[in-house]
Structure 1
Amino acid sequence: MKKLMISPFVYMIFLAFVIFFTGTTHVIAGAALTDFSRNGSRVSLSVVAWSEAAGVANPCYGYSSCYIGPEVSYTTFGIGGLSGSCDSGACIRAEDLPTLADVAERYKKKHPLPYTAVFNIDHLQDTSSCVGMTFIGTPSYGGHAVLLPGSTCTVIPPDNSRCSIDIPPYIEHGTLPVSAINGNTASVTGSAVCNFDGEAVITTSADGGTNSIYLNGVNLTSQIEVNGHNATEGIVFNVLANQPSTLTFTSTLRANGLISSGEYSGTAIVYVNYN
């Protein structure tokens, strides 16, 4: 199943985990942040992850031409025609690619993730409802692209809305004997600050779209929760303008078999959307 996530709020956090077993356990999380703004007809969005199961068909394979890129869905007009997105360089040609895995690979080769696209909204007079990854035969102002199967369509925030996230760069599990690894938890506390009153949604994505990070692909995982909940499907929280909202990230280790001494690592993504 495709796991394509597009975040118009540009603060994305990568949690990279390294675990050492010489009788000790440490989980280290490194964070990378970006910023988001929308002003007038200009919209910015970030493609934060895209993975595909093998064999899923590309819906525009065999077209005489096919363009794939991020586009806005409008309340009245529907999905736009990719003209602004493609004009900005955010699209790829994909009519020769038989599967969506091939599409994702080409897109990420052209635009290494995380990739932030900035382009003009075509139908400013209409209400823009959400943005997602779409395809169309030929980009045009009056055309209608189609949402790619499995792509999210993420709500666009109000004009000039922005948020930021601040969390410690490390999650430390401390020193543990191997027998104490399974079920061990460690947490860090940070905050999100937005410049508006309302609701935001925080979402995590790890391996296979779950909240479990496979550390070096072996029988050891780190399960990530935000404020005590699995955030794979998103957690809604209230924000007050310019007031920090507390976010606690918790890592729980799970051992499923014999774990040898060595260094282990994995990655999860945390991102926030306007709700």
Structure 2
Amino acid sequence: MFFWNRKKEPATATKQEVVTPQEFNTFGLQDLLHYIKREIGVDLFSKNSVIETKLRLFCERKEIYSFRKLFETLQTDRTLRQDLIDLVTVNETYFYREESQLDLAVTFALAIPNVKILCAPCASGEEVYSLSMMLQERRREPREFSITGIDINSEAIDKAQKGVFSERSLHKLEERLKDKFFTHEDRYYHARKEYFSSISFTKVNIFEHEFLSLGKFDIIFSRNMLIYFDDDFRLKTIERFATLLKPEGKLFLGHADIIPDNHYFTKHTDNRLSYYVKK
């Protein structure tokens, strides 16, 4: 027998091949944080350790194994860019949040024919729906006002447009308002579209040109966005709000929002509630 001439049989795998996970390279994180700040104004440098973990998990889900590679891919991949924006701009809210401030804005709105209101950002829409409900409760017909909600987060805009909310979102509403403006199915409340014909939502970045094409408004709500910006981006935001506001238009900010000195607005106080009037 000439075993050395015997043809070898193909090897049969008896064990499942083990794939070694690719090691993640953290190089490029600073470039990535600069990119986020430049594109959407959000300053994440002070949250470096927390955001690093969040961004790393995001990369691994996308099968990207370095921050530098993510940064490079963002330059041409618009879908990836939007996914990243959605990741870092998640914002939770609820109906009738800071009701006294909403009520003051509604009081101003009632004195303006065909009033136009902008909510920027609008998150998942609770603020927009709340203002609409309060105006209608004060005897203003939907055809007599319009409210536009904008946000850079595409998932938030999608939810706002669907108008489906959890019990938690509606926890401040009395049952009468829930019954009037919503239908209750399983654990969710669906906005009755016949009451909300005067509201609209669109995905817009306030630092891009399309923001300035939204038209002119009598009132702008922008609560709890400026806290994520540095002074340069805060001033840039205030300038852009001033461009969209009509003369004597009102700007409402969150209690923690701080704006730098500027020549666009004067601050007013009404029963300890602050708002800004365009000069």
TM range (shorter): under 0.3
**Hey, which of these two has a bigger chunk of strand by percent?**
1
TM-score (norm 1): 0.24
Is the radius of gyration larger for structure 1 or structure 2? 2
TM-score (norm 2): 0.24
Answer 1 or 2: higher relative contact order, Cα 8 Å, separation at least 6. 1
